[in-house]
Chain A
């Protein structure tokens, strides 16, 4: 079928500029009088600031917290019962709480000169005992990250059920400690912000690399004490976000303040070193888990404790608590069992403030849960894939409310596992393992299945009581005089293709080709309110809003067209960008022309809203719609070196109705690449003094093209009963499963050596040390 509507593999509209170097990023902007800003960051993880001395004569070019008159700290509250509030000062006040925390900023013609100025600032710091990890933070003699807290716990959550009967009766009990390292999100473009004062509009204009422009506007208004009407947040192209750009950044507030104070343009661009140190803010989880199962490996209950190293402050608006709260809520994953106990601890340390990274908590919980399933299978002597399948929520149980109250709306989880098992050639892999490899490497196959809560909305966020709760998502759809369409939405594209996919939704309803549909995103002055791009919500929420607005617009077009064609509105149909009634037809431009240029031709009583519609949309449930997938990996482990090669990788995924399968596949490839980074390479280690040890890309290893397998992606399409067109979110999913599938594959390969790996990443040195230790123990 021709057309550019939902389900079509339409080539991405944005790619022509993005892949030919014609995109515009914050760093590309030019502006007369623009000055560059560098931040002086704390060299120590934990220190009292006794004195900061500006270089001679640089009083108006170097700024510290005291200079920022009237600027309030970033404040992320939550109504969760045990939550402790921490103010996040935009420049450190009193204490520095992590290495990399901004202490001062310097302004100059060039970034190099601004860095010169930073070097000339004298810092007098009194070092305090660093709290470099959760275990240190929890020890009774540790100091406090926040002096007014009674301990270093930001949040505790508890789901409690009595497991004593299982303890007494379960045939199989498995205990594991599982860890995932701290890491960075590493978008190709780091953070960046430029701000200036627009005299004509009497507005502070803040151009920021942000996923959440409207949230940033609200946050800036709070921190700067400026009414929202005087603030415009604008976006240009954004080179990846992944959650890193989904919070209000202290640097955004600082640059905005400079522009406000001096009525001139200022800019800061995060460099890679700042990202690697001050931005090492995600994924660090620690698990202690006890699982109970029957003799077939059927999971009966789970007893878990989860510690999240949340760093020094709570980010706005999501706070530091959603990570652990989501970990506790999502650990059961796609599995059906009846007894669950889980305690989570969000522990403050002297590290950068934790932020939600693609998959938020779920890569960690999936990593933990999938290892447990495999460990149970090994314990009962069955195939992990079989045991996994038997434990999944079955198709007949859908819709299913799980042990933590998640409402799995639809889908056949087991079918995705069978799909990936077939794709990966499971039986052939098992055969190949029998023969052994000529080069001495060991082959292993591993699986992981997950659910991805997407587009969770008002009720979920309201239950956390955080500063901003998403509600109705709005989008504007407008027909132009010449029959084109303009879509405006407050959500932000960070590379995920929304300029194309939102156009496809409008095209589906109006049949106008996407080439004639302009999509404008993010700019708070031009778009209706949206809380932005996060939580795999874009296509569900903004797609739903565009759909709803386009449908209302379609009604209005029909009414005018019916008048022009002298027929009933009900007889009008849209076909390939034309308006038809029987043999008669009109162009959309005829209707556009009537409204804008020839109003004398309009029917009496025409809808005065004209050809521009803004509607608000929410799915039928606030609790999220659940995408899911299974991943399978085949690895070869070199037992002599610990080196892992991924030989094959397959995905069977279901995100409901695919607006553009090519874009879905793009999300699968990109997310999997990031997940492989988490699994095998990426790590931001800290020493006992809280000093980051990976401060350049020489130490922080990212997977490159040679390390990534060519992944195969197979789709299932179970429509959500709750959303427009049956769409589910898909942005985060593929980053969730790779660490789990890969660790299970590695452990499958190493089984004969009596070695089991339980951490991510899994560098060769770690695998080799475990192999050598096992050999030592055996001899």
Chain B
């Protein structure tokens, strides 16, 4: 379980990384925290000819506020978010989620950018960022662009990056003071990947309400009708609403799966509406 031979390059900045990637072409691959790349390379599932290490690019490790949004650099680690070492636009949701990812050694190295690009359907950030209405900032040989989190992930382990591009930051709107959230991750044990995730964010001041179901086989599911019912405060109707929307969106899922999806969503909704 040792990787095949590869070259190592360190990138000092996003521009540096883009230049290296375009020089290396298909054989080049970004490595950030290495918490998914490392195991994949050791198992020889990933066999890049060269890796471009961006973990040392200070620009990517910063959290900035551009007035509208808070930008969390791609190389900010789960651990920094958990510890509150960086500004938090989410009124505690991001630190809460971060603390439930893997165990501390992984959180010390694993990055939020690496997690969304790796796009494991059972991972935490992909679902969380959709629930928060985040955008993903990207730079590449043709300049920069920004994509809604729900459009960024295309399926299991596939995202809308093209060759030579990298993610620079997660762009998050600030939750208002009335905002509340709920996050329920069902898994086998502490720090394990999710079997089901319910993520709910309610921010009436911004007329924002999202209900997301994660831990599926593919991309997380935005449940619009449930979100509307939550926004309207139709408490009694919610369990049935959730059941029905799961049934409609995931008719093929096994009964046990539908059951835990429903549980995750109901619990997250209840936590959010208090």
Q: Does A576 belong to the interface (CB within 8 Å)?
A: no
Q: Does B1 belong to the interface (CB within 8 Å)?
A: yes
Chain B contact residues: over half helix, strand or loop, or mixed? Answer: loop
Chain A contact residues: over half helix, strand or loop, or mixed? Answer: helix
Q: In the bound complex, how far is the Cα of B188 from the Cα of A768, in angstroms?
A: 13
10 A-B pairs, CB-CB below 8 angstroms?
Answer: A110-B2, A273-B43, A640-B263, A641-B186, A641-B260, A698-B39, A706-B191, A707-B189, A768-B259, A772-B255
Q: In the bound complex, how far is the Cα of B256 from the Cα of A772, in angstroms?
A: 7
Q: Separation in Å of the A644 CB from the closest CB of chain B?
A: 10
Q: Does B190 belong to the interface (CB within 8 Å)?
A: yes
A111: chain B residues within 8 A (beta carbon): 2
Given contacts A643-B186, A707-B190, contact A115 B260 (CB under 8 A): no
Given contacts A768-B260, A772-B259, contact A112 B3 (CB under 8 A): yes
Q: Does B4 belong to the interface (CB within 8 Å)?
A: yes
Would B188 and A763 count as touching, CB distance under 8 A?
Answer: yes
Would B188 and A701 count as touching, CB distance under 8 A?
Answer: yes
Interface size in chain B (residues, C-beta < 8 A): 22
Would B256 and A768 count as touching, CB distance under 8 A?
Answer: yes
Interface residues as binary, A264-284 with B (CB distance below 8 Å gives 1, 0 otherwise): 000000011110000000000
Q: Does A433 belong to the interface (CB within 8 Å)?
A: no
B2: chain A residues within 8 A (beta carbon): 110-112, 115
B43: chain A residues within 8 A (beta carbon): 273, 696
Q: Separation in Å of the B70 CB from the closest CB of chain A?
A: 31
A112: chain B residues within 8 A (beta carbon): 2-5
Checking A272, A274, A696, A706 against B189 with a beta-carbon cut-off of 8 angstroms, the contacting residue is A706
Q: Separation in Å of the B251 CB from the closest CB of chain A?
A: 17
Q: Does A228 belong to the interface (CB within 8 Å)?
A: no
Would B255 and A681 count as touching, CB distance under 8 A?
Answer: no
Would A704 and B190 count as touching, CB distance under 8 A?
Answer: yes
Interface size in chain A (residues, C-beta < 8 A): 28
Interface residues as binary, B169-206 with A (CB distance below 8 Å gives 1, 0 otherwise): 00000000000000000101111110100000000000
- B binding-site residues for A, Cβ under 8 Å: 1-5, 39, 43-44, 103, 186, 188-193, 195, 255-256, 259-260, 263
Closest to A705 in B: B190
* Inter-chain CB contacts under 8 Å: number: 62
- For the complex of A and B, the 10 pairs showing the least CB-CB separation, nearest first, are A112-B2, A706-B190, A271-B1, A640-B263, A768-B256, A707-B189, A769-B256, A111-B2, A273-B1, A701-B188
Q: Separation in Å of the A275 CB from the closest CB of chain B?
A: 10
Given contacts A641-B263, A696-B39, contact A765 B186 (CB under 8 A): no
Q: In the bound complex, how far is the Cα of B2 from the Cα of A697, in angstroms?
A: 16
Q: Separation in Å of the A699 CB from the closest CB of chain B?
A: 10
B3: chain A residues within 8 A (beta carbon): 112
Q: Does A764 belong to the interface (CB within 8 Å)?
A: yes
Q: In the bound complex, how far is the Cα of B3 from the Cα of A703, in angstroms?
A: 28
Closest to B39 in A: A696
Q: Separation in Å of the A22 CB from the closest CB of chain B?
A: 21
Closest to B120 in A: A698
Q: Separation in Å of the A538 CB from the closest CB of chain B?
A: 32
Q: In the bound complex, how far is the Cα of B263 from the Cα of A625, in angstroms?
A: 50
Would A704 and B191 count as touching, CB distance under 8 A?
Answer: yes
B44: chain A residues within 8 A (beta carbon): 115, 119
Please provide the chain A residues from 679 to 714 with a CB less than 8 Å away from any CB of chain B in the complex.
681, 696, 698, 701, 703-704, 706-707
